[in-house]
Structure 1
Amino acid sequence: MDKLAINTAQNVNLDYKLIGLGERMIAFLIDGIILLTYMTIMENLITISDIFEADAWTRRGFLGLFLLPAFFYSLLCHIFFRGQTVGKMILKIKVVKVDGSPTEWYNLAVRWMLRIVDIWIFSPSIGLLSILLSDKRQRVGDAAAGTVVISVKKKHKISSTILEEINDDYEPVFSNVTQLTDKDVRIIKEAFTISRKNNDFKTLTLLKTKICETLGIESKLYDVQFIDTILKDYNYYTQNM
């Protein structure tokens, strides 16, 4: 199975599955159905609406205007939905840069413009072959834009990394937690998780004492609350640096 290694802000490596032909074709078909439905509705509206009781050329002009969003559908969706169209959202796949970072608008613009090579000039044959033959499952547009398509289905539990779930409005308590390293925090979290599971209160107390000594702080928080706060504070500051 082809995978893409992504390094998070906390230097945790996560492997994501590179998406090949099958899922991309299904997403493409879903988007095609959406576009076809939109185009059919627009055509019917212009046909039955009294507003467009004009000559055929005028109706065609209005139809072309209303169908313009369909022409830019893929580009606009990828930009506004951060690398996804509706089809990709349903399939839980996404376009990212080859280093795993989010795409920029110019990556997506290059990728979209080269659809003319991948899909339209020789039918989809060029795009299909390039995906099948590429090590990173890239079509020509992906290779030129420096992008790949990955699965974003959650396969990694947050507890298996040093990551902590924090709310957007979270307020940190200990600003000097940045003195700790990723290795320190990983050890703290592993010891914290095991000690809580086994109700090992002695280890929790020793862990709190060691953290306080390392950071040169004092706290009246209970052991569990203190260590949990340390983990969340570290994630808050490393995510916002």
Structure 2
Amino acid sequence: MADLGIETTQNVRINFQLASIGERISAILLDFLFFLGVYMLLLLVIALVGDGAVWILFLLVPLLFYSLLFEVFMNGQTPGKKIMKIKVATVDGSAPNFLNYLIRWMFRLVDISLTYGVCGILCIVMGQKGQRLGDILAKTTVIRTKRKVLFEDTILVDIPENYQQVFPESRNINEKDLPLFKKVIAQIESLEDPVEKLQFGLRARKNVMEKLEIQTEIKPLEFFKILITDYNYIHRNR
């Protein structure tokens, strides 16, 4: 499955790997099994209590809103998506909101239910962003997630003894910028083509330099590592 390039608020392009059709179908099947298990358990309880006809009809309602509710309250994931390590994301890099989730949920009827998934699969295969019809209209897609990274793992680094802050402008770094810097570093290190590595690094460095009003010729990889170290130095020496 292809990658999805997302422009962050720092104007840095980060690539995320799109979820495959197999992963998305597996997530749907796992969700079905999960819901079926819970549903059967509730029916068993009602059968033991007796007089459950009204309750059976009432329990059909969560089935309709299953994916919507989970995606809203689990940050773009259902239990099946969480197991498969995939999630809903917007194609512009912003955080999905309720309207995004609602639109893609409404079109499940066309993408999955009425067409037995054929419409959704065709749209995903023919498109370039892994989107079914509901995703196209909601401006979302489904991407793979990595293991959860602890906040400390994201921003904390060892500071060399007698370290001196390199950029005075580092005081303008926002805490939310640190995960982005880490992603840029990881992407630079992962690129094998020297030309592509250099071009990506220079673009990323240029955008961040403009925002922080920094002037430097330090190589991109070292530049972002220095920013992270500067940030830790400033905040540990307050």
TM-score (norm 1): 0.64
Q: 1:42 touches 1:67 (CA, 8 Å); kept in 2?
A: no
1:121 counterpart (100, 114, 137):
114
| Pairwise CA distance, 1:40 | 0.9
Instruction: Summarize the Cα distance change of 1:14–1:40 in structure 2 as closer, same or farther, 3 Å threshold.
Output: same
Q: CA shift at 1:104, angstroms?
A: 0.8
Give distance in 1, aligned partners of 2:223 and 2:2.
33
With over 3 angstroms needed to count, the CA separation of the structure-2 counterparts of 1:228 and 1:69, relative to structure 1, is same
Query: SS of the residue aligned with 1:150?
Result: strand
Q: Which one-letter code corresponds to 2:25 in the other structure? A: M
1:164 and 2:168 correspond: no
In structure 2, the residue matched to 1:228 is 232
1:99–1:154 Cα change, 3 Å: farther
Instruction: Report the alpha carbon displacement of residue 178 of structure 1 after superposing the two structures with TM.
Output: 2.3
> Which of the residues 68, 86, 99 maps onto 2:92?
99
Which residue of structure 2 lines up, in the alignment, with residue 153 of structure 1? 146
Counterpart residue number, 1:63: 56
CA distance 1:185–1:43, shift in 2 (3 Å): farther
1:72 to 56, 65, 70: 65
Counterpart mapping for 1:1-241 below 5 A: 1-49=1-49, 52-53=50-51, 59-153=52-146, 164-165=155-156, 177-178=171-172, 182-183=208-209, 184=214, 187=218, 190=222, 228-230=232-234
For residues 224 and 110 of structure 2, the distance between their equivalents in structure 1, rounded to whole angstroms, comes to 54
Larger mean CA deviation between 138-147 and 185-194 belongs to: 185-194
Question: What letter corresponds to residue 74 of structure 1 in structure 2?
Answer: S
8 Å Cα contact 1:39/1:70 also seen in 2: no
- Residue in 2 that maps onto 1:199: none
* Whole-angstrom distance in 2 between the partners of 1:48 and 1:134: 50
Q: Secondary structure at the match of 2:116?
A: strand
How high is the sequence identity, in percent, across the aligned residues? 36
Let me know the Cα RMSD of the aligned residues: 3.7
Contact 1:111–1:144 (8 Å) recurs in 2: yes
Looking at structure 2, the residues matched to 13 and 192 of structure 1 have their Cα atoms a distance apart, in angstroms, of 15
> Which structure 2 segments of 5+ residues have no match?
158-167, 174-206
Residue 16 of structure 1 deviates from its aligned partner by: 0.4
* 1:46 to 1:137, Cα distance in 2 relative to 1, 3 A: same
- The structure that has the greater radius of gyration is 1
Q: 1:176 to 1:23 in 2, by over 3 A?
A: closer
Q: 1:3 to 1:185 in 2, by over 3 A?
A: farther
Which runs of 5 or more structure 1 residues have no equivalent in the other structure? Answer: 54-58, 167-173, 195-210, 212-224, 234-241
CA distance in 1, matches of 2:215, 2:75: 31
Measure the CA separation in 2 of the matches of 1:192 and 1:31: 41
